Structure 1
């Protein structure tokens, strides 16, 4: 008599793949966005400075078009892409242990920086969220860098700064049909309840 698969194990595997898919999507999108931004030349101004990012966007579009043509010509290639994505998602969401803990520690900032003005942070979050249910940390980081702030930061750095200010960061915030780490509108502190700089410093200590 064949043994039925453990239902709980199947559920855990499915949840791991879903979480891994979110992680892979977030990491790939952040890496591509950083690559596109890296094409901008600081020694030029105006439209000339934007030629580099525009060219890289065109390269990504061409790569997507070629991939679509390949799949249409050879539908079996989709199985290869799907298998590769599932493997990447499974590896991305593996439980941290041993060497994995060391690798994860590299993504975390060495020290939590001094907290910023809570009122300014609240205004920035409100602006980034707009009328949406929340904002992903990667989107918020890009919003900061567009203003000339947070150069060289990673998502982990931004997360540490928000947590030091007492701003909750959720693991799963759904915005534009994508789920990733972010700040939900319901957790956004109001100016009246936002922690003072002294309180934020105590929380970071």
Structure 2
């Protein structure tokens, strides 16, 4: 894979992560204004008002950009920087810098070989595995808490594992990893298995 293609994949993956974070933030901000002490439409008035505020802010941004087209370059640069940072691979320094107050989030699995082995085990003799099944397995084993399928997909793609939009398993079609797309095992792992 060329450096340009890796950079494009990193920006694509980061864009999905940033969009998901922004959507979660907006939903949480709107949800926070729900009134439990009221009933009916009065209880939902706060989230409705906040949703209108968000929509209004979007319209204002569109009008300002339409009046000053050069601002689109600033917004695009900001988005690209955020996407690049969001998809940055975790380094050992990041792990050491994490505060002790936050609960530790285990990585997906340590390295491509472990990812490949996990996926191969979950696929078994089937044509593939759905990402929802992979996520459920990870969460059963204490990993991926709070993740959604889109975040798992982004993380797999960032590690170079191709994800298909339509993988058919047990008569159901969903996002998943097909058996044919699994990364080949490294020569060292193949030798270990043969021994």
Q: TM-score, normalised by structure 2?
A: 0.54
Partner residue in 1 for 2:75: 81
Q: How many residues align?
A: 127
Whole-angstrom CA distance in 2 between matches of 1:164 and 1:44: 37
Q: 1:33 to 1:68 in 2, by over 3 A?
A: same
Whole-angstrom CA distance in 2 between matches of 1:135 and 1:60: 31
Q: 1:69 aligns with which of 63, 67, 70?
A: 63
Whole-angstrom CA distance in 2 between matches of 1:62 and 1:18: 27
Q: Note if contact 2:131-2:153 (Cα within 8 Å) is conserved in structure 1.
A: no
Deviation of 1:89 (Å): 0.2
Q: 2:48 aligns with which of 44, 48, 54?
A: 54
2:153 counterpart SS class:
strand
User: C-alpha deviations, 1:134-160, integer Å up to 9, x for none?
Assistant: 898xxxxxxxxxxxxxxxxxxxxxx56
Whole-angstrom CA distance in 2 between matches of 1:28 and 1:66: 18
Whole-angstrom CA distance in 2 between matches of 1:45 and 1:161: 39
Q: 1:108 aligns with which of 105, 130, 139?
A: 105
Are 2:15 and 1:18 aligned? no
Deviation of 1:8 (Å): 1.1
Whole-angstrom CA distance in 2 between matches of 1:47 and 1:160: 36
Partner residue in 2 for 1:119: none
User: C-alpha deviations, 1:150-202, integer Å up to 9, x for none?
Assistant: xxxxxxxxx5686318xxx67328xxxxxxx9xx8746899xxxxxxxxxxxx
User: C-alpha deviations, 1:95-131, integer Å up to 9, x for none?
Assistant: 101343355984638xxxxxxxxxxxxxxxxxxxxxx
C-alpha root-mean-square deviation of aligned residues, in Å?
3.6
Q: TM-score, normalised by structure 1?
A: 0.52
Deviation of 1:50 (Å): 0.5
2:30 counterpart SS class:
helix
